[in-house]
Amino acid sequence: MSKTVHFVSLGCPKNRVDSEVMLGVALGDGYRHVDDASDAELILVNTCGFIGEAKKESIDAIFEMARQKETGRCKKLVVTGCLAQRHPEELADQIPEIDHLLGSSDMMKLGKVLEGDADRILVGTPADWLTSAAAPRVLSTRPGSAYVKIAEGCNRTCSFCVIPELRGKQRSRAIDDVVREVEALVSRGVKEINLVSQDTVAYGRDRPERPVLSDLVRAVAEVPGLVWARLFYLYPETLTDELLELLASHPRVLPYVDMPLQHAADGMLRRMRRGHGGARLRKVVSTLRDRVPNLVFRSAFIVGHPGETQEEFEELCEFIRWAEFDRVGFFRYSDEESSRSFTFEGKVPARTAQSRYRKLTTIQRAILDKKNKAMIGRDVDVLVEGMSDEHEFVMMGRHGGQAPEIDGQVYLSGGECTAGELRRVTITQASDCDLVGELHEVDASSDAAASTESTPRAPRRANVRSPKRLPVVR
């Protein structure tokens, strides 16, 4: 019988890509992935160490998997990722069940672990790794969709953030290498490519040839067979005319912007070391709304950062009402010991931060309810993802304004469909987060039907356990 491996991948999509590379390493060594941890001889937990809630979830997952050494078949427990990068000695001392620790840039060292002759702690420097088209990788996302990491690390100095410590300075991939990876994925059935990095708008600034993001996006969007290209994690800088034009008019670049703004009050943005004030944010939002038809705008905000006054919080509330974002993630500030803001005075009590969080979610929920109800009666293209996790015998998918895992689903009725298809749907119902749509009939003589019938085989996929890390208002 083949050796068996089980993966738990926590945190962001960037971490998921790393998990998929390590899964490729394991399968290349003769392992077979199993969905049930009790059946696995090797268990790997890829951790997140960004904020307190994520660290707690990672530690809980490690302890849960460690119990498989007593109750299951587990012979080796490997812990990787940002928490291992940040606290390797503490994890090694406090959790003796861990056999090996790899950091945030040590994906390929898993091969040494599998060979059986490796040190317990194999944590290198954060800047040691940058993925490439040649990296082994097994997809764990739903059919038809994949993340592609275009850069690693970050050069920003935001006061609340420890990513540069965990991931190092920015390292961008060459355009042709990204395109080769996209071509390989599309040739095997992927229709949606989600471009991710820590600071996507800064792509290429670290490379000698100085490529720019718009050149990369255009090159990716021109890959034959690709249907959707989506951008994540844009910093709120003034976007170039070239990028705005791609978002506005390229048939395969989705008019979807993910841009974490973090706050809106000048004083808070200054303490957060964001490099701009609220006026710029209003200008960026207005420019995107004016220049990009049918824009879907996702953002993220932090409440309870040290020094946040009630007046500044009310200014943030007013900004949320004004901007009417399509999707928002709200986060309570996490006091990380190695961040600049850890030393700041004016710490906001947890109860106050929680109250502010609830108020923001209430404001955004009303906005989202209005936007979802406005979808009723519209015809949209939906990427079918497969059987619903929550409703037996119901298929689900996403329209272009719904990013994977965080923006809700479209539950499908009125016909049959196959995972990985792109189908036309009329939206008939709306709830807080999700939609219901009726499938259009497919004309057997149409180009759409022909392309569906000839869809190439999708890449190998594994059902990697990847819990949602933080609460999100969708």
Q: Which of 144, 146, 141 is nearest to 419 (CA)?
A: 144
DSSP letters spanning 431-464: -SS-EEEEEPPPPTTSHHHHHHHTPPPPPPB---
Asked whether residue 474 is domain-assigned, the answer is: no
Q: What share of residues in the chain are helix, strand, coil (percent, to 5)?
A: 35, 20, 40
Pair (354, 255) in one structural domain: yes
Pair (153, 124) in one structural domain: no
CB 421 within 8 A of CB 452: yes
Asked whether residue 140 is domain-assigned, the answer is: no
Of 94, 128, 162, at which residue does a domain stop? 128
Q: Strands 327-332 and 395-399, how do they pair?
A: unpaired
User: What pLDDT does 387 receive?
Assistant: 87
Tell me the residue range of the domain where 117 lies.
3-128
Pair (19, 119) in one structural domain: yes
Pair (384, 430) in one structural domain: yes
Cα gap 380→446, rounded to integer Å: 18
Q: For the chain, give the number of residues.
A: 474
User: What pLDDT does 1 receive?
Assistant: 58
CB 225 within 8 A of CB 454: no
Cα gap 257→237, rounded to integer Å: 13
Pair (38, 177) in one structural domain: no
Q: Would you give the distance in Å from CA 340 to the centre of its chain?
A: 25
User: What pLDDT does 84 receive?
Assistant: 94
Q: Which of 327, 433, 292 is nearest to 373 (CA)?
A: 433
Q: In this predicted model, what pLDDT tens digit does every residue of 195-227 receive, in sequence order?
A: 999 999 999 999 999 999 999 999 999 999 999
User: What pLDDT does 393 receive?
Assistant: 80
For the chain, residues with pLDDT lower than 50 are 444-460, 468-474
Of 321, 346, 374, at which residue does a domain stop? 374
Pair (305, 162) in one structural domain: yes
Asked whether residue 442 is domain-assigned, the answer is: yes
CB 152 within 8 A of CB 130: yes
CB 121 within 8 A of CB 441: no
Task: Please report, for the domain that includes residue 310, its CATH number.
Answer: 3.80.30.20
Angle at 221 between CA 176 and CA 244, to 5 degrees: 110
Pair (351, 426) in one structural domain: no
Asked whether residue 292 is domain-assigned, the answer is: yes
Q: In this predicted model, what pLDDT tens digit does every residue of 277-322 receive, in sequence order?
A: 999 999 999 999 999 999 999 999 999 999 999 999 999 999 999 9
| Residue indicated by tokens 């293209």 | 381
Is the torsion defined by CA of 177, 400, 417, 434 positive or negative? positive
Asked whether residue 281 is domain-assigned, the answer is: yes
Asked whether residue 135 is domain-assigned, the answer is: no
Burial class (CB in 10 A: 0-12, 13-18, 19+), 253: buried
User: What pLDDT does 461 receive?
Assistant: 56
Token pair listed for 321: 């009402």
The phi, psi pair for 4, rounded to 5°, reads -120, 145
| Residues forming beta bridges with residue 169, ordered by sequence position | none
Structurally, the chain folds into a number of domains equal to 3
- For residue 118, count other CB atoms closer than 10 A to its CB: 17
The phi, psi pair for 349, rounded to 5°, reads -55, 145
Cα gap 358→362, rounded to integer Å: 6
Asked whether residue 368 is domain-assigned, the answer is: yes
Pair (15, 72) in one structural domain: yes
Pair (336, 226) in one structural domain: yes
Pair (398, 300) in one structural domain: no
Q: Residue 176 carries which side chain, given as an amino acid letter?
A: D
Task: Please report, for the domain that includes residue 433, its CATH number.
Answer: 2.40.50.140
Asked whether residue 23 is domain-assigned, the answer is: yes
Pair (346, 241) in one structural domain: yes
The secondary structure element, H or E, covering residue 28 is: helix 13-28
User: What pLDDT does 462 receive?
Assistant: 58
pTM: 0.90
Q: Residue 169 carries which side chain, given as an amino acid letter?
A: K
Pair (364, 270) in one structural domain: yes
Q: Residue 118 carries which side chain, given as an amino acid letter?
A: A
| Residue indicated by tokens 């004030």 | 277
| Residues forming beta bridges with residue 76, ordered by sequence position | 42
Q: In this predicted model, what pLDDT tens digit does every residue of 234-244 receive, in sequence order?
A: 999 888 999 99
